[in-house]
């Protein structure tokens, strides 16, 4: 358990994680808005994932680790189906799925007691702290958001201009 003096740092960590999820979601939304349905499900080869697969995977991972793992919701994730899907949902359904997941993650983090970030949890067959679980999902979201951005740039040949001032 975190010491009482650490709660301000823990609260800042939780707040930063939430802001990063919103940033990544905005970038994913911008990418998907610039693509056709076909492009969202395009794969360069059978071993690679489409943007649709990555969105399903991000939702599954964040839900399993934070919503279920820290928020004590029922975990019924079927991880392999996230990668097996082909044209499984429309762009709008994918966006609604990931938006709902980010909203649910934010709700868990909003109500999470900062003094409990070092509490142990058992998630996806791992013993981990809440801090590690949140950090894992934040890093995982970042990595796959970068892949979505790269695929979008490759398909559209456009600068997404995320950092224009």
Domains of the chain: 4-156 (1.20.120.450)
Evaluate if residue 165 carries a pLDDT over 70: no
What global pTM score does this model have? Answer: 0.92
Can you give the pLDDT at residue 1?
A: 47
Can you give the pLDDT at residue 74?
A: 84
Q: Using one digit for the tens of pLDDT, what is the confidence trace for 30-67?
A: 999 999 999 999 999 999 999 999 999 999 999 999 99
Q: Using one digit for the tens of pLDDT, what is the confidence trace for 83-132?
A: 888 887 999 999 999 999 999 999 999 999 999 999 999 999 999 999 99
Evaluate if residue 2 carries a pLDDT over 70: no
Nearest to 61 by CA among 39, 77, 49, 44: 77
Q: How far is 142 from 46, CA to CA, in rounded Å?
A: 23
pLDDT band for 5, please (50, 70, 90 cuts). low
């Amino acid at each position: 358990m975190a010491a009482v003096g650490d709660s301000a740092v823990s609260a800042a960590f939780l707040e930063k994680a939430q802001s990063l999820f919103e940033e990544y979601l905005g970038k994913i939304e911008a990418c998907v808005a610039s693509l056709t349905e076909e492009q969202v499900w395009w794969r360069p080869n059978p071993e690679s994932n489409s943007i649709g697969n990555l969105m399903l995977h991000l939702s599954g991972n964040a839900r399993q680790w934070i919503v279920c793992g820290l928020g004590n919701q029922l975990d019924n994730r079927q991880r392999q189906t996230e990668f097996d899907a082909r044209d499984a949902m429309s762009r709008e359904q994918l966006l609604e799925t990931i938006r709902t997941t980010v909203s649910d993650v934010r709700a868990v983090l909003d109500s999470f007691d900062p003094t409990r970030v070092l509490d142990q949890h058992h998630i996806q067959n791992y013993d981990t702290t809440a801090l590690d679980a949140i950090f894992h999902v934040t890093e995982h979201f970042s990595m796959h958001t970068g892949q979505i951005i790269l695929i979008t740039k490759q398909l559209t040949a456009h600068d997404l201009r995320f950092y224009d001032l």
